[in-house]
Structure formats: C-alpha cells, structure tokens
Amino acid sequence: MAATLEKLTETVTGNDGAPPSRTASRTEGTFAAAPNLGRSVHVVGPVENVDPNQGPHPKNSRGELGKALFNYYRNSTSKDPLSRVGAGTHSADRRNVVSEALNRAPKGDINPDRVPVPDPEAMTRHIKAVGHYFGADIIGVARAHPSMMFAGARYSDDGTTAEGASEPESPEELASKYPYLIIASTAWDYDKLQAHRHHVGDASYHMSQMYTNMIMKSLEGYIRELGYTALRGTANPQATALAAGLGELGRNGLVISEKYGARVHMPNTIMTDLPLVAGKPIDIGVSDFCNICRKCAVTCPTNSISFGDKVVFNGVEKYKINWKTCYGLRPFVTDHWGSCLTCVTVCPFTKPNVWWRSLAVKALHTTPFSARPLLVRALKAIDDRFWGVVRQKRVRWMGYDTGIKPGETACTVAGCTASHEHAGNTAATVSNIGFYAPLKENTNRFVKRDAV
C-alpha cells in the first residue's frame, strides 16, 4: 500500500512553548516490538506520545481555534433541552449533566484488603462479566504499550492524588507498572441515530456517552475495591480498543466494532495492575471494506474524511481525518445539531445487531484476503440499494420530528397548546424522509475536497 509520509503538525507536537516530550528510546527492552493493533492500523515508526491537552476540546477551551468555536464551546446554551442535559458545555447549569456530577466526584481509596488473583483468566472473565452487568455492550482488555499512551504529567501514583503530588512517570514506567488497559462502551441507540445531524441523534450519542461514563466510573471504583490501582485517561482509547480486539479503525477515524459498527464512543481507558489476560486484535474486514467503500468520505458535509490511502502520521499508518474542518463546522450548525454523526450513520457496518449483520461480518472474516474486494463490492451494492447512500429516515421521538426542515419550528404533536408565535408559520413536512442540512452540495462550494 502506498503510504505518504505526512509531516507532524501541531496536533501532535504541541505549541512552541511546550516542554520537550518524554519520548524515550524504545528500541530495546520489553517494549521493543510495536504493539499489534490488527490489520487496520500499523505502528511503523517511533511514536511521539500525544499530550491530551492538545486535543480538539482542550485546544478550543483555551481559545486556540478561533472566536466562533470558542464562543460555541464556552459561551452558549443550547436551545434544545435534551442537549442541555447531555453536554456540560451547552447546559444552562453544568450540574444538570450526569457526567459532570460523576467527573467531579472525589475518588475513593484503594481497599487495603486486596483480593488475591491466582488465575488471571478467571479474573478477566469476571471483569468482563462485571462490565456487562454494569450495562456495557462491549468490553476488552489490552496490554499497555508506551506507544499507546498519552504524554503529559497528569498521572499520579495511586490514582487518588491530584497532579503534582509526585514525580510524573514516563509512559514506559507506567506501562510496566500498570500493564493492563480496560475499555468498555455502550452502543448508541440505532433508531435514534438515524436522525443524524439532528438533536435526536445528539441524544442518542450523549445518553450513551454519559451511561458509558458511569460504567467506567463503576469499573474503576470496583477495581479499587478489589485492592488494585485504576488510572484514568492515560492511554489512547482507540489504540486500546484495537489492541483489545473490540474492532478495527475505519476510514472515518472511528473504531468500527464487531457487533455495532461505528456507533460506539470510546471513553477514557482504565489502566490497572490487576492481573488480567489481554485480548487479541480481531479481523472483521474493515481494512478491505474501507479500501473500496468511501461512503463516509462521500457524505461527510465538510469533506474531512480522506478519499486517499492510509497515511503515516506520528509513526502510525492509518486513515487520517481532518479534525479541524470536522470540528469547525459546529458553531455554524449549533441551532440544529451538536454532533454530526453522518460518518457513523452511513457506515455499512453500523446496522442493528441482528443475524444478517453477523452473517455479513462472519463472511468478511472468513473470506481470504484476495477474494475480499469482490465480497465488499457486493455488500456495498446491497447497502446502497437497501439502505441508501445517506440514510434518511424520518424519526419521531419526544415531539422531535426529522421530517421538519431545520430552521423551521412546528409543533408536530397533536393537541399541542403551547404558544409557538416565535416560530412563524407552521412548517410543512417533507414526505416520509428525514431532512438534514446543510446538504453536501451546499458545503462543497465552501470546503475544498482533497485530491483523490
């Protein structure tokens, strides 16, 4: 595969004033071999650990992405009450968001009465059963590797003290001290996700994200109750999910899971010294599919998804999206939706978890590599024929209706007596399909598509 070498940009290396990163040489020792992340992602060169403070949200909260995004993120209250309980940045009062309550809760102590673990396999089965009992749809365990870790001095020794309590540890030290990473997630509601680019789709995403947050907090607390350390936010969740075998990385830059496709959000990982057995990466044919399909790239309203091949970025060969254009759309559409989710919805892997979906994934898994392009073309043709190039389904829930053109408000509830004077005339509905804006043809005039 032709891989183009892209220069490191500010996404990874940080600002000029940033302290030198703590990338030690990993050419010898336990971590000499690159981690196995499956067929979709290959670690090919030295990886510089990314500072989580250089991610889109932290950058934005410091005002580094411009006024429009900053005001959208910090100074706006969503017009939609469901979004106001789903995201702390858009609520009238942040305390009305469960995730905020959970994130601000003080951490508990590690139980001094440690539970012995003679059989790590039994403990792994137990942790997975516990995760499912808490409500997780997928859960996996990966072996920590320094190249999967974040940089930064935010780690603490026992997970109970704030930063600065002790000398920060390097990714190598942490990965040998706390060798296992646990990641769990819940799938977004499929039917509500069909209302992508709409507040209903946001609700699907936000509620699942908040519930996942609670599951991860519970797991973290349970590991402390077992008498072991649990650190949060030390490793890249996507790399962890790939190494744990939860899925493969798609063209849309999302982990495409075996059972649910791209409709899973990867939360902050748990890093622990609890003896476990790490999972193995899986092969569900995402790599072969993304080579051919490009549905997400075609439908992305901001052309942020590449049509080209994988690139090597920061020592990792993968599909890379342009996060700046993806993120930059938000302030302009905030009245109509919060999170676009179109690349999730159109992905052929994102389907209800039913027998024909399992059959297709199983077929992809068992077909030899050389024959896969043929199968992929057939499956994509079926997908386009039966599910549409863009999924446009009218979703009606809690008084929301995606049949109403965005920007117009109409009360769609029979017998409603609320005053809607501000909305002007009643909007007309458009047949039985969902209505999503801005449409691709509108944005194509403003956003330059990269070379095919």
- Which residues contribute to the site for other proteins (CB under 8 A)? 81-82, 84-85, 91-98, 101-102, 104-109, 111-113, 115, 122-123, 125-126, 129-130, 132-135, 189, 192, 203, 207, 210-211, 214, 217-218, 220-222, 224-225, 397-399, 411, 413, 415-420
Smallest distance, other proteins to C-beta of residue 177, A? 21
Comparing CB distances to other proteins, the nearer of 303 and 339 is: 339
Comparing CB distances to other proteins, the nearer of 407 and 415 is: 415
Comparing CB distances to other proteins, the nearer of 173 and 225 is: 225
Q: How many CB atoms are located within 10 Å of the residue 391 CB?
A: 20
Smallest distance, other proteins to C-beta of residue 79, A? 9
Smallest distance, other proteins to C-beta of residue 303, A? 33
Smallest distance, other proteins to C-beta of residue 77, A? 8
Smallest distance, other proteins to C-beta of residue 231, A? 14
Residue 245, both tokens: 């075998």
Query: What SS3 class is residue 262?
Result: coil
Buried b (16+ CB within 10 A) or exposed e, 27-64: eeeebeebbbbbbbbbbeeebbbbbbbbebeebbeeee
Comparing CB distances to other proteins, the nearer of 97 and 344 is: 97
Q: How many CA atoms lie within 13 A of 108 on its CB side?
A: 17
Smallest distance, other proteins to C-beta of residue 59, A? 27
Comparing CB distances to other proteins, the nearer of 23 and 160 is: 160
Q: What is the dihedral of CA 199, 202, 203, 206, to 10 degrees?
A: -150
Strand ranges in 163-280 using DSSP code E only, listed in sequence order? 180-185, 230-232, 247-249, 255-257, 270-272
Comparing CB distances to other proteins, the nearer of 115 and 359 is: 115
Smallest distance, other proteins to C-beta of residue 326, A? 27
* Cα torsion angle, 139, 238, 285, 305, sign: positive
For the chain, what is the largest distance between any 2 Cα atoms, rounded to a whole number of angstroms?
Answer: 72
Q: Distance between terminal CA atoms of the chain?
A: 15
C-alpha 200 chain-centroid distance: 18
Please give the single-letter amino acid code of residue 217.
Answer: K
Comparing CB distances to other proteins, the nearer of 19 and 399 is: 399
